[in-house]
Every structure is written in structure tokens, then in C-alpha cells.
Amino acid sequence: MQAFDYYAPSTLSAALDLLRQRGETARPMAGGTDLIVQLREGRKKAGAVVDLKHIPELNALSYAPQTGLEIGAAVALRRIYTDSAIAKAFPGLMDAFSLVGGTAIQGRASVGGNLCTSSPAADTICALIAHSAVCVIAGATGLREVAVEDFNTAPGRTVLQNGELLVSIKIPAPPAGFGAAYLRFIPRNEMDIAEASSGASVVMAAGKIVAARVALGAVAPRPLFVPQAGAMLMGQPPSESAIESAARAAEAAATPITDMRGTIEHRKQLAYVLTKRALTLAIERSR
């Protein structure tokens, strides 16, 4: 393990000051389940690690049926999915949050850390896109908000600038007729990184789909929002043909690579299959 300075600020302003002072050598740590491994293996370098687990705003978790859910960037995944009220209101998020690593990892890992690691195969991000989540970012000029589908820009890269922190993720309250789901495919149970994944949501009213969102994981350089797939469902009854059209649109949008986890052809087929299944489950849940 390389040597670095360790800081555990107790306020957001102190953390931002440290990031500004240490510049590009500073690494924020929300959970550390990715960062510590990367530092140990030499895939990342750090002059300073800023532990965010002691900052109240980043550890806040709140839910109200009227206003929705807000998750602090350092809140552990297990704390979220074991909250019965949150789990009941957001089963599509629970699909993803309960898949990140094993039980021990979930006691430390956070949604914010998963977002900021910016893996194309990250489980939480597609589910957050399906739920129209928004990232709250703090910096020297105050707070700004970025839609989650715009937060990740490339593998390992986000819109965060030097001296900025992800503070929380806001998810709007599910409207009447809302349903969502997240599914992934892994080549074997021991392999925890998805070969492909899909998050989907719909809003039903008067027997028709009035809103829909689809996102794909592990089939593009970043988690991929596919608005054209949702557009195929707008104003349609939840028929097999409408779901088929949306799934084919997702397949067409996928731009995967061939690597040790799968081929281009298989991943594109998975984008179709997983989207079709995720939409079917989302529609069932909307009822």
C-alpha cells in the first residue's frame, strides 16, 4: 500500500477546504470498498484520503411519501435496503442496491461511492437513472444539481471538478402507477461484475404507459440512458409488441466491447433480453 495522509473531517466545509488545498492528489472516500483496493493495487495514486463518513450531510438518509428519497453520498447500502419503508416504496432500487458485493461489503459501500467510481457496469446507476435521480454536488460556489444520467462521463470519470464533492442523491417520490426494476446477467455466480444490465421504469395511467425510462449497464463506456426505448412505449398499452419495440431500441443503442466477460454479440442480445424482462417486471409492479 502506498503512503498517504488521512483526514476525517466532521463538516462539509472542512472536507471541501481539504480537497481544495490538496488538489488532484486528494481522494474522497465514501465507503472505500473500491478506493482502498485501487490504491493497494496501484491503479490509483493519492497524496491524501479524505474520509467522508463523519460528515452529517453525507450520512443523512430521509424518505417521505410526498417528497421522495434522499441518500447521503456516504450512506451504506445495507442501511438503505433494510429500511422497510424505503424498500417497499422503491423495489426497483432495492433490486440493484442489494447486489453490490456481498453482505460485508454492503455494510460499508455506498451509492455515492458506486456513482463516483464510475464503472460502466455499476449496479446502482442504471436503477437510479430509471428513477430520474439527481446528484447534489457541493463546491466552492455552493450547490449544483446534475441528473444522474449526466454524472458519469467515461470509465472512472465524472462531472466532478477539483474541489467538488457529491453530497447526496435525490430520488422523486414514485407517482401513482409507477413501477421499476433492475436486472443483470453475470457469467457465473462467483463473478460479481455484470456482463450486461438493464434498469427500467414506467408510469401507467388509464391503461396506457404515460412515462418510461430505460438504462443499460456494461454495454457502453458509461451507464447508458436510452430515451428512444422509453419513447417506444409512450401512449401505448403495455402490450408484448410495445415492450418488444422498446427492447429492440435498447439493443440498437448498446455499443459494447468484447472482453473477458462477454462478446459484443452476446452483450447486445443481453441488452434486448434484460430490457424486455425489466420492463415486464416494472409494468407488473406498476399495478
**Are residue 84 and residue 162 in the same domain, yes or no?**
yes
**Are residue 247 and residue 164 in the same domain, yes or no?**
no
The fraction of the chain above a pLDDT of 70, given in percent, is: 99
pLDDT of 33: 84
| Contact status, residue 217 vs residue 184, Cβ threshold 8 Å | yes
**Are residue 282 and residue 186 in the same domain, yes or no?**
yes
**Are residue 37 and residue 61 in the same domain, yes or no?**
no
**Are residue 242 and residue 257 in the same domain, yes or no?**
yes
Structural domain harbouring 10: 5-51
Neighbours of 243 (CB within 10 A): 25
Which CATH number characterizes residue 281's domain?
3.30.390.50
Q: What is the pLDDT of residues 270-287, one digit of tens each?
A: 999 999 999 999 999 999
Q: What is the pLDDT of residues 140-160, one digit of tens each?
A: 899 999 999 999 999 999 999
**Are residue 62 and residue 41 in the same domain, yes or no?**
no
Confidence check: pLDDT of 192 > 80: no
DSSP state of 194: -
pLDDT of 44: 87
**Are residue 111 and residue 73 in the same domain, yes or no?**
yes
Give the list of residues 6+ apart from residue 186 with CB closer than 8 angstroms, or none.
192, 193, 194, 195
**CA 98, CA 101: separation in Å to the nearest integer?**
8
Q: How many CA atoms lie within 13 A of 151 on its CB side?
A: 34
Confidence check: pLDDT of 31 > 60: yes
Which CATH number characterizes residue 93's domain?
3.30.465.10
C-alpha cell at 282: 416494472
**Are residue 167 and residue 185 in the same domain, yes or no?**
no
Task: Please give the radius of gyration of the chain, using alpha carbons only, rounded to the nearest integer.
Answer: 19
**CA 199, CA 278: separation in Å to the nearest integer?**
6
| Contact status, residue 197 vs residue 274, Cβ threshold 8 Å | yes
**Are residue 192 and residue 269 in the same domain, yes or no?**
yes
**Are residue 32 and residue 105 in the same domain, yes or no?**
no
**Are residue 184 and residue 271 in the same domain, yes or no?**
yes
For 134, list phi and psi in degrees, rounded to 5: -130, 135
Q: What is the pLDDT of residues 234-275, one digit of tens each?
A: 999 999 999 999 999 999 999 999 998 899 999 999 999 999
**CA 143, CA 163: separation in Å to the nearest integer?**
12
Neighbours of 181 (CB within 10 A): 25
C-alpha cell at 107: 455494510
Which CATH number characterizes residue 30's domain?
3.30.43.10
Q: Which of 122, 139, 171 is the last residue of a domain?
A: 171
**Are residue 191 and residue 160 in the same domain, yes or no?**
no
Q: Which amino acid is at 93?
A: L
pLDDT of 181: 98
Q: Which of 155, 171, 187 is the last residue of a domain?
A: 171
Number of domains in the chain: 3
Q: Which amino acid is at 24?
A: E
Q: Which of 106, 137, 171 is the last residue of a domain?
A: 171
